[in-house]
Amino acid sequence: LVAWCLGFREPYTTALTQVAKRDMNLTEILSSEQIVPRLAAADRWAVIDQLIDVLVRTHKIRTEDSETVRKAVKDRETSKSTGIGYGIALPHASVACITDVVAVFGRPTHGVEFQALDNQPVTMCLLFLAPQGQFQKHLLLLSSFARFLSNKENRQKLETAQTVEEILAIFRSAT
């Protein structure tokens, strides 16, 4: 990627650097309808399925694309767990069936085994999809989300929030 970027002249590399430094505001892609404070899922596959169902229900992905999305997210999860530790999972994939980034946040009512790096159950899950071919945007989002959720204060607030509105306010306050 660096070699590719070096081929661009100054205005392009400056713009690329500015984008790279800007963290994505979750409220830009996450509405109250895409927050599930109590997911009744028993395992990581059920968590992923339920979160994708929310994206279908909120018209962020088309019903006819839901199986393609499920396969992409589950293939990614099978290759390496997206459980990053601290009770957080960030399942994600790049898919051709969307034109912009979409996300959904859920909290399983009981910790779910996600084969996380720290071997702890997942209590918060942010699933996101990026359009295929937007590799840099995908990585920037992953980094931004991981940084936000790795912050102990943010995690504690999200763990204790009781309502969708409270959760959305926490994401909003991070900007």
| CB-CB neighbours of 51 under 10 Å | 23
Q: Is there a catalytic annotation at residue 138?
A: no
Query: Using an 8 Å Cβ cutoff, are 33 and 8 in contact?
Result: no
Query: Using an 8 Å Cβ cutoff, are 82 and 91 in contact?
Result: yes
Taking the C-alpha atoms of residue 132 and residue 77, their distance in angstroms, rounded to an integer, is 17
SS3 146: helix
Catalytic residue among 59, 92, 110, 138: 92
Tokens of 161: 């929030």
Catalytic residues: 92
